[in-house]
Amino acid sequence: MARPLTVCVVAALMGASIAAQQPKPRFEVASIKRNDSRRMSDALVPRVLPGGRLRAGNASVEQLLWFAYDWKAYRIVGGPDWVRQEQFDITAKAENDAPADQIKLMVQSLLEDRFKLVTHVEQREMRYQALVRMRPDGPLGPGLVTMDACSPAIVNDLRRKFPEKYPSPGSGMMSACSSMGLDSLADSLTIGQDTPVIDATGLKGSFYFFIRSQFVSLPPDLAARVRATSNDPNLPALSTALAEQLGLRLESRRGPVDVLVIDSVQEPTEN
């Protein structure tokens, strides 16, 4: 009776080992060209297009790493200066209409093949701001609305039908929908802080949040490089807005954070 079980266990282990050894998918064709314009207004963050296509304009290797590994800038360390300063125009196409998660793996392969990128993950001590709830069991603020699901289409429809509950972003205001807790809110708040902001609220699921305070939200393609503040005296300070509008606050902490270390990388040959 034990033999079939043994065979099943061995087969399962062999299957897991084979799956772990399978190579990452690769683009069928890919073009990389250096962009020397240095015009940030022309920046186009890596995006997945229909038909398994990828397009990135005026993008740095660091920006490609954000996209491919879902690592924020403060968690990418090491490498030469050009990794963050030099920009490239990249177009690529998969053999099939691959989903976004497969395209990200293909960008990892592209970085490894064309940029000879080698990385590893390790933990490093760093100071950061933890985004936490004002009271662990207390109510959320009026500017933090739970949702069943969120997407651009859903958000646009809600903004049109219920503008008071789901306001659109304006001067001194940020609003967005997050489908994975409040990571995106923490990322946006990092722009105006001297240290990274990490979501530690423990809140899961989808949320629509809007906040009015003395800062200006920025589009994703500029957020990593530009800091801006609004001096409108009629708007509350960020700490006040977080507490009163969202029921959240920032708490200074220091601790281990996983980082992606660039061991080696080379400038690519263009094609």
Cα 237 to the chain's mean position, in Å? 26
Q: Among 169, 165, 207, 200, which Cα is nearest to 186's?
A: 200
The pLDDT of residue 243 is 94
What order do you get walking across the sheet with 118-133 strand by strand?
A: 76-78, 248-264, 118-133, 197-199
Q: Among 255, 213, 208, 210, which Cα is nearest to 231's?
A: 213
35-40-46 Cα angle (round to 5): 70
Residue 171 in contact with residue 213, Cβ under 8 Å? Answer: no
Residue 264 in contact with residue 117, Cβ under 8 Å? Answer: yes
Query: What is the DSSP secondary structure assignment for residue 104, as one 8-state letter?
Result: H
Give the residue ranges of the chain where pLDDT is below 70. Answer: 1-21, 38-44, 171, 192-193, 215-232
Distance CA 257, CA 127 (A): 9
Distance CA 183, CA 203 (A): 10
Residue 246 in contact with residue 253, Cβ under 8 Å? Answer: no
The pLDDT of residue 192 is 63
The pLDDT of residue 44 is 62
Mean pLDDT score of the chain: 82
Domain limits, the chain? 2-115, 126-257
Q: How far is CA 230 from CA 169, 192, 216, 237, in A?
A: 14, 11, 6, 10
Place of tokens 């979501």: 199
Residue 149 in contact with residue 268, Cβ under 8 Å? Answer: no
Q: Is the dihedral of CA 23, 27, 29, 34 positive or negative?
A: negative
